[in-house]
Amino acid sequence: MASLTLSDLWVHQASNLATFVKVHAGTISEETQISGEVRRYANGVFRAITVAGTSRTVAVSLPFLARADLKILEGWVGLPVMVRDPLGRKVFGVFFRLDTSERPLGDINTALQSGFSLSTLSLSEEV
C-alpha cells in the first residue's frame, strides 16, 4: 500500500477550484462553540440556556506567502473558499479579514506572512 505525505496547504475559491493559493507549511487550528448563556431563575437556581447548532472557526496561518498569492486572497475576502490542509481535510467557509505582515529576510528580500479566521459554512458536494 502506498502512502503520500503532503506538506502544503491549499486555499481555493469555492466556486472555482481551478484557481488556488498553495502555501508550504501552512497550518490550521479549529475552535468549536455553541451559543448560550447561564441564567438565574427563582430561588437562586442557575440554568444553562443554549441555541441549537454549533459554529466552527478555523484559524489559517500562511507563512512565506508570495505577493501574487496575497493579491488573489485579497480578492476572495467575503467569498466562500475551501481550505485543504496537509492531512487532506477540507473546510468550507468565508473570511472577512486578511491579516498580513512583512518580515525582512536579509538586505533585499522580505517574506509575507498572512492569516485569516475562517467561519465555516454548511456546504454539500454533490456530483
pLDDT digits (tens, 9 = 90+) for 37-91: 999 998 899 999 988 888 889 999 988 888 889 999 999 999 999 999 888 888 9
DSSP assignments along 14-64, one per residue: TTEEEEEEEEET-EEEEEEE--EEEEE-GGG-EEEEE-SS-EEEEEEEEEE
Maximum average pLDDT range among 2-16, 26-40, 112-126: 26-40
CA pair distance 34, 21, nearest whole angstrom: 31
Contacts made by residues 39-44, CB under 8 angstroms, sequence distance 24+: none
Q: Is 86 left (phi over 0), alpha (psi -120 to 50) or beta?
A: alpha
